[in-house]
Amino acid sequence: MLMKGKRGVVLGIANKKSIAYGIAKACQEQGAELAITYLNERFEKKLAPIAEDLGCAGRLYPCDVSKPEEILALREALERDFGRIDFIVHSIAFAPKEGLSGRFSDVSKEAFNVAMEISVYSLVELSREMLPIMNAGGAILTLSYYGGVKYIPNYNLMGVAKAALESSVKYLAEDLGRDGIRVNAISAGPIKTLAAAGIGDFSFMLKWNAAHSPLRRNITIEEVGNSGMYLLSDLSSAVTGEIHYVDGGYNIMGMPAVIFDKEGKPHIAWNGEDR
């Protein structure tokens, strides 16, 4: 039981397909005690059975990260019910639709600021506000995507937000290192979740990744969950400030692997082994 005796809060479960659910489940299976949050009333009912399933029916709290008072209320609730905590999972991102297709240069200042506030600043604010109740040896984990490092079609504004998020992970890791707290990110390959539905041509992205990853397939939330659990557990006690790829190896490819048709013309086939 790698997480026995550890208590933590998971933000960003929208449903059982959420990456945050995969991470929460893996932690629970290794003995962690959890608290989870929901964005607003619309999600409260949906999350009740999930909280039950994760063994934290009494620890389901509201937290819209764009509202500082809800972050403070979350800390109070955690302090009341847990005393202190050992880990935080930040699996939250949002960009207005206009930022996820079309020309990047058309993005408005309002959309840009909203994406940065919810997808990036929330990690900084959460880290700061939870620090007083975090045990030394604790860990913070966030979720990123390769679109923050290289251009990915349609990822546009979220790519810029992920670049800032990954940089924030490094600056937070140095800052909170003095308190014995580690901060890491998982850069996950594409997975069909609610948030992913907002990205233009997402099913094409899935096909492309499966065809061009060394493992020749897409990844699952269970796999992100296991890697996330490792980064939250003492197994990774000397790992901080890392962007850990869980993407079937896609990010190491310097050139797409293509196959050639009978005439010798480059041709890309979409199903794994056949590429």
Residues within the interface to ligand 0WD (CB under 6 A):
11-12, 14, 18-20, 39, 63-66, 91-94, 118, 143-145, 188, 190-191, 193-196
Q: How far apart are the first and last CA of the chain?
A: 40
Whichever of 196 and 239 has its CB closer to ligand 0WD, that residue is 196
DSSP-derived secondary structure for 26-37:
HHHHTT-EEEEE
Whichever of 66 and 220 has its CB closer to ligand 0WD, that residue is 66
- Smallest distance, Å, CB 91 to ligand 0WD? 4
- Smallest distance, Å, CB 147 to ligand 0WD? 8
145 classed as catalytic: yes
171 classed as catalytic: no
Whichever of 116 and 196 has its CB closer to ligand 0WD, that residue is 196
192-200's contacts with Cβ under 8 Å and 24+ in sequence apart are 192/17, 193/14, 193/17, 193/18, 193/19, 193/221, 194/14, 194/15, 194/17, 194/18, 195/14, 195/93, 195/94, 198/95, 198/97, 198/100, 199/100, 199/154, 199/155, 199/158, 200/100, 200/101, 200/153, 200/154
Whichever of 12 and 138 has its CB closer to ligand 0WD, that residue is 12
Q: Of 155, 230, 245, 250, which residue is the catalytic one?
A: 155
- Smallest distance, Å, CB 14 to ligand 0WD? 3
Buried-exposed string 67-78: b where 16+ CB fall within 10 A, e elsewhere: eeebbeebbebb
- Smallest distance, Å, CB 33 to ligand 0WD? 21
Whichever of 50 and 93 has its CB closer to ligand 0WD, that residue is 93
DSSP-derived secondary structure for 192-220:
--TGGGGSTTHHHHHHHHHHHSTTSS---
Q: Where are the alpha helices (DSSP H) in the chain?
A: 19-29, 41-53, 68-82, 109-116, 122-130, 156-177, 202-212, 221-232
Q: Of 21, 38, 61, 145, which residue is the catalytic one?
A: 145
Give the position of tokens 């790519």: 159
- Smallest distance, Å, CB 265 to ligand 0WD? 31
Q: Which residue type, as a one-letter code, is found at position 226?
A: N
Catalytic residue positions, numbered: 145, 155
